[in-house]
Homo-oligomer: A and B are copies of this chain.
Amino acid sequence: MTTKSNFTPKWIDKAPKKGSFRSIFKYGDPIGFKHPNAQFFDEIKKKFKLSNKDFKEKETTGNEIVKLERKTAIQSDQIKKFISICGTDNVSSQEYERLKFSTGKTIEEAMKLRVGIVNNITDLVIHPRTKKEISELVKYCNQEKIPIYVYGGGSSVNYGFYPEKGGITLVLATHLNKIVKFNEINQTATVEAGILGPEFEKLLNNAMKHYGVKQNFTCGHFPQSFEYSTVGGWFVTLGSGQQSSYYGDAGDLVLGVEMISPTGTIITKNYPATATGPKVLDIIKGSEGSLGIVVELTWKVFHHQPKNRQYFSFVFPNWEAAVNASREISQGEFGMPAVFRISDAEETHHGLKIYGIEDTFIDKLMKFRAYKPMQRCLFLGTADGDKRFAKNIKSKVKKICKKHGAMSLTSFPVKKWEPSRYKDPYLREDLMDYGVLIDTLETSVNWDNLHEVHQKCRDFIKKRPNTICMTHASHFYSQGTNLYFIFIIKENDIEAYRKFLEGIINEIEKSGGSLSHHHGVGRMIGKYMTQHLGENQMNILRSLKRHFDPNNIMNPGGQLGLD
């Protein structure tokens, strides 16, 4: 079946057609691509028993032009009011726009749009220019009972801003995308919620120039969606970056926020710590748009000192050894690596192909030293911060890894991985063009149930014939870590796919993992919340919801499992 040859599918490497469905569901940069390399392509064919022939013709492309006849449900006097607040240019009832800003990055949405299936779309897209405008919008919508959804960078993988109830969608990145205050003394940057990762980081990296300060800074938060997600989105969904083990998760990195809700505006204080009762900031953390709109955030920044960065990679004989070493590192009290990532045997197998490490000297060395394929596990790491601090981490990590049977792979693999860190999502369009789906689910675990959750979820996923399941842990804490499952299957049936996903989520919950470590809840996971947290805890969240948003206009319809 498998054919090794010089054949390469005609991966699409042009921007999607203007106005097409593809232009909406395609990940990231319209002219950004990462095609499967030859090794990975061969692996896919082998796994799914496909031949080159199966990659001659695309199953779907979604390059068809969006044509919808969906009248907006917002009345004309209401539209007039919105225009009076935000200006004509910033209000659109045009169907393409409405579909675009209603669409996130779930595989299900892409599957549907590829065949022209369109679910709910928002009734009106609004690009507010100021927080004052947002305040007026919220007030008016509350009075008129018009639902409000907020579009940040659009990278949600759980229908987090899906306009279940119609209404309006606010796009924050259009205008609300600036650093409004840089405070060198406190090491904070106060930003508008719609600023995207790259712009934020660029300004911080050049703080000396922009703000006349003594050093340059970094935000420390680099999720895979970095280029297409906003600072506000990072916070309200409790995201985690690829260097979170050192810098912390988004929830830890925000000192204070301004949130506009139907009950009024909340401006929390920016103290580094305070013992004045339950913190409202903590209540807003993770509220995913269901309590109000976070319009401004004060972010903790760090010195930007890339010259201090240490790189290290190891291979372990097996997953258990990699986990044990990771635990010892996480509990070692010498500071944490920044990038800190272990891949299980199957991810290591594919990762070596995807990162282009297979057949290099590193691969040969591993084979020579008998680190066996489908057993060996890759560890990638960096250390940031002060130079001696980072060097000490590197040396401690090395010692611990060796103790657990690992061999150093030098800095080569992590340096191969680093430049493509935001690029993996681009694989999905190429594969989907030929009916192959790549998707992810993730959870957090304590050390003592890590193996149980990993094994049970893998078992469930692998029960499906011809399925690739790769797992890594990449956010570490003294008390545990996360598990990130990436699965690749061949599937055309949307309902079957949805059932498969739901089966995995259920397995995660049943085996003791959390419903999400950093993707958030949205609508996809919402329905499991009561089973997960229990009725008592859900009632607390519902009570908060009623307080902030008595008319249920903020991101209504299943978000967080609230209704």
Contacts and interface: CB of A to CB of B under 8 A. Distances in A.
Interface in A484-530: 514-521, 525, 529
A76 interface: no
B249 A273 contact: yes
A479 interface: yes
Contacts of A525: 276
A467 interface: no
Nearest to A333: B385
A435 B251 CA distance: 49
Contact of A480 (B186, B286, B519): B186
A272 B237 contact: no
A459 to B, nearest CB: 22
A389 B533 contact: no
Contact of A481 (B272, B445, B447, B532): B272
A547 interface: yes
A222 to B, nearest CB: 16
B277 A287 contact: yes
A275 B185 contact: no
Given A271-B445, A334-B388, A448-B185, A287 B282 contact: no
Interface in A192-238: 237-238
A271 B280 CA distance: 21
A280 B255 CA distance: 19
A179 to B, nearest CB: 16
B280 A283 contact: no
Nearest to A250: B275
B274 A514 contact: yes
A188 interface: yes
A20 interface: no
A270 interface: yes
B280 A537 contact: yes
Interface in A226-279: 237-240, 249, 251, 255, 263-279
Contacts of A255: 479
Q: Copy number in this complex?
A: 2
A264 B536 contact: yes
Interface string A278-297: 11101111111001000000
Interface residues of A, number: 91
Interface stretch (A2-10, A146-154, A538-546): A538-546
Contacts of A514: 269, 271, 274-276
A332 B478 CA distance: 22
A389 to B, nearest CB: 4
A93 interface: no
Given A278-B541, A283-B282, A302 B333 contact: yes
Contact of A444 (B239, B272, B475): B272
A131 interface: no
Contacts of A267: 534
B386 A275 contact: no
Given A185-B448, A278-B284, A272 B478 contact: yes
Interface in A137-161: none
Q: Report which residue of A186, A276, A536, A547 has the largest number of chain B beta carbons within 10 angstroms of its beta carbon.
A: A276
Contact of A521 (B277, B385, B516, B541): B277
8 contacts: A186-B479, A187-B479, A237-B275, A269-B514, A273-B444, A275-B521, A276-B529, A303-B333
Given A265-B536, A276-B529, A277-B560, 4 more contacts: A274-B444, A276-B520, A282-B283, A334-B386
Identify the 4 closest CB pairs spanning chains A and B, nearest first.
A272-B477, A282-B282, A333-B385, A238-B275
Interface of A: 183, 185-188, 237-240, 249, 251, 255, 263-280, 282-288, 291, 300, 302-303, 305, 327, 331-335, 384-386, 388-389, 392, 396, 444-448, 475, 477-482, 514-521, 525, 529, 532-534, 536-537, 539-541, 543-544, 546-548, 560
